Structure formats: structure tokens, C-alpha cells
Structure 1
Amino acid sequence: MIRIALLGAASAGALVALVAGAQAADLPAYEPAPAVTAPAVPSFTWTGPYIGVQAGYAWGDTNIRGVKPEGFIVGGYAGYNVQLDGSPVVLGVETDFNYSDVDDRRGGVRAQSDWAGATRARVGYAFDRFLAYAAGGVAYADREVRVRGVGRDSKTALGWTVGGGLEYAATDNVSVRGEYRYTDYGSDRLLGAKVKGDEHRVMGGVAYKFDTFGF
């Protein structure tokens, strides 16, 4: 009788184990949920059109003895940059136009410039939001000479300009910069004499860069 009870219990246990194993085999396999990753944040790019204002100080030299014009400059600039894909290299073109209060007088001779501008190509190297750049191109300016008792004469001078600077993007749309520029205006005949002139200037500017969508 005891053997029959033990045999029954063993058979029941085997049956329970068999049913449990079959049910477990029927359950769907567990797969872990995919890891949630934060969306990639696009890095800053210098690509896009921009417009800005600037101000600075200029000083230069002429071939008129003792006449070295200097003074303040204020104006605006506009341009377009392209940052090469996957590269820190930035290429661009820019033009500016400025009011100029640059003059000097020695004896009865006065040399002055009332406005100046330039159109330049730019090449830069970006360190994320910092941009070190060099620029060069064509410069143009008003040049005037007055001689007491003789009269006055003026010309629009054409020359070349080179320089460089450092720019920082404070936000995705606003950048500030400082730069140095050297300009050689060559020579022009004023009041019958050949007058040469060059200029050094330091400038600071702030610009707004437009989003590239739609361009």
C-alpha cells in the first residue's frame, strides 16, 4: 500500500514538471527593450550669410612731407561663409563700407579721406565657435588734398588690402570680432602732383548670421 502511494506521488510530480516545462516552452522569448539614446545635437557651423557693424581707428602715411593722416572709422559689412563638410576650413567673401574721419595737416597742406571700403576673400580655420581668418582683396577710398592758396582736388583711390582677425560666435546667430588690416592705395595725381598713401587700421565688429534654411 505504501509503495503504491509513493509511486502515485512520484508520478504526479513528474506530470506536474512535464506540464510546467511545456507551458514555459510556449511562453514568448524575452527581448530587452532597445536602449534610449539622446538625439544628436548638431555642432555649430559658420556657413551662412551675415551682416554687421564695425568701428575702429586708422593711421597711415603719404609722400607729402610730414602728413600722416589718422582718425576714426565706423561702418558696416556683409558677407557669406561656407564651412567645408566635416572640416574646420571656412571660405567666404565680404564687403564693407565705412565713414572715415581720417586726416592730417602740415603747414598749408591737408590730406583727408571721408569714406573707405573693400571687397575681400576670406579663408579661416574654425575651432568650434572661434574662427581665425585671413582676408585680402580690393580696397577703395576717397582721397582729398587741399593746399592753401592753390585749391583742392580729390579722387577715388583703388588699391589692395590684406589682414586677419579672430571671430567668436557668442550664439548661433551673433558673432563678435577684432581684426587688423593693411591697405596700399597706390598713387594718384592730385593738384598736379603724384600723391601716395597707405593705411593701417584696427577694427572691432558685431554681426548677425542668418540661418541657412532657404538659401
Structure 2
Amino acid sequence: MRIALAIGMSLLGMGTAYAADVLEPAAAAPSFSWSGVYVGVQGGFSWVDTSITLPNFAGGYEASPSPNAFTLGGQAGYRYQFDNNVVLGVEGDLYSYFNKEDGAPFNFSASGESVTLNYGGSLRGQVGYFFDRLLPYVTGGVAFIDYSGGGIQTFPGPIYPGADFSGTKAGWTVGAGLAYAFTDHFIANVDYRYTDFGSTSFDTPQAGAGSTEVNLKENALKIGFSYKF
């Protein structure tokens, strides 16, 4: 009798342990982490406003070409995820402009100036707050653009000789965006950025003005696809 009771108690204990194992919830799968290095490609469109002035002419001759352009390039960065859902990162990109030239006449003149965008890039910080695989963020930092320009004849009339310019200009940029992780490695993002490259003075004495002032601002929408390591 004692032996049967001992066997019964042993089986009861095994059953209770098994039931506890069955009822215990399975361990949650590890959530996605935004921490890591990533590289990818990006494309977009830029709306560019320029103001070109020959200030030494009476009244100040001014032209406003708008070399709006598609962009295509690459991006790379690093993000670190904190326990409070905040994500800090740094990102750099480099891209070329396509369909990138536009000209406009000077006021009070039959001639004008054109602007051609060549390539650009930026190095920016990023601050975001993630909701699992969705990451809204703000971004800001420094940007640069390489561009050139020259005199054009928009209507029958003289062209200002020597009013050509070229250079690489740095400025500041700010924006905001969204990133979404489709898998643990593939991430898509879309962001908007405003960039102000300020004003640059180019010596163009042959134009009769002594200098050409170029002011450039850019609004850009970019879409990127990256691989996170």
C-alpha cells in the first residue's frame, strides 16, 4: 500500500510540473533593434531656388534660375537604440543631380545666367523615437553642393562676357523623416530636407560688374533603401 501511495505521489508531482511547463507563457521573441551600421541607395527630387546678381550695374541686374533636378546616390550611417525608445544616429550621403540646368534672364536685360548642379552631399545627426519597426526622426547638419553657371542669351541682345562661375559651397541643412524596417536587415526611409547654401561672390571682372553674387537654397524629398548589418 505504501509503495502504491509513493508511486501515486510521484506521478502527481510529475503531472503538476508538466502542467506548469505547459501553462507557462513562451518567452517573447526578441524585438527588432535599430542599433547598427547600415548602407544603401537613395533617390529623390530637389527644388532649387537661385538668385544671381551683378550688383555693380545700375539698379542691380538679377536673374533667378530654378535648376530643379532628380538626384541619385548612396547613403551610410550608424544608429544606437536606447532603452527609452530614443534612437541617436549619424548619416552621410553623396548624390548626383540629373536634369540639372536652368537659365533665366536678368531684369532690365535681354541676357541672363544659367546654373548647372553637379553633385552634392551631407553629414547629419539624427534623433528619433521608435515604435517597434517604425522610426520617426529629425535630422540636421552640414551639406555641400558643386555647381557652375554662365551667361546666356535669352533674347536677341548682348551676352555679358566672362560672367561664368563655378565652385563647391557648404551650407546647413535640417529635416525630418520616417524609417521602417521590413526585416531585421532591410530598411526603407523617406525624408524631407531644407538646405541653405547662403551667398557666394565670384570675381568676374570681364562681365563689367567686378563680381557675381550667387545665392542658393534647396528643398529636397528623398527615398532610401538600406541594409543594416
TM over 0.5: yes
Identify the match of residue 219 of structure 2 among 171, 177, 200.
200
Choose the corresponding residue for 1:46, options 18, 31, 34: 34
**1:120-199 matches, cutoff 5 A:** 120-148=124-152, 149-190=161-202, 191=204, 192-199=211-218
- 1:67-113: CA deviations, max 9, x gaps? 2221111100000001102x221110000000013331014311121
Equivalent residue for 2:50?
62
**What residue identity is the alignment partner of 1:209?**
K
| 1:24 Cα deviation after fit | 5.1
| Structure 2: runs of 5 or more not aligned | 53-62, 106-111, 153-160, 205-210
Name the TM-score, length of structure 1 as normaliser: 0.81
**Structure with more contact order per residue of length (Cα contacts < 8 Å, sep ≥ 6):** 2
Q: Deviations over 1:6-38 (max 9, x none)?
A: xxxxxxxxxxxxxx3x44565555422241453
- The counterpart of 2:116, out of the listed 82, 89, 112, is 112
| Alignment match, 1:4 | none
Taking the TM superposition and a 5 Å limit, the aligned residue runs for 1:69-108 are 69-85=67-83, 87-101=84-98, 102-107=100-105, 108=112
The question of whether the paired residues in 1 share the 8 Å contact of 2:177 and 2:189 is answered with yes
Answer yes or no: is the 8 Å Cα contact 1:155–1:188 preserved in 2.
no
Query: C-alpha displacement at 1:40, in angstroms?
Result: 2.9
Larger Rg: 1
- 1:84–1:90: 8 Å Cα contact kept in structure 2? yes
In structure 2, distance between residues paired with 1:49 and 1:26: 60
Contact 2:163-2:212 within 8 A present in 1 as well: no
Cα shift readout 1:107-143 (whole Å, capped 9, x = no counterpart): 4311121000000000011111111111000001102
Which deviates more from structure 2 when the two are superposed, residues 136-145 or residues 187-196? 187-196
Q: Name the CA distance, whole Å, in 2 between partners of 1:84 and 1:209.
A: 17
Query: Relative to structure 1, is the Cα distance of residues 26 and 74 closer, same or farther in structure 2, using a 3 angstrom cutoff?
Result: closer
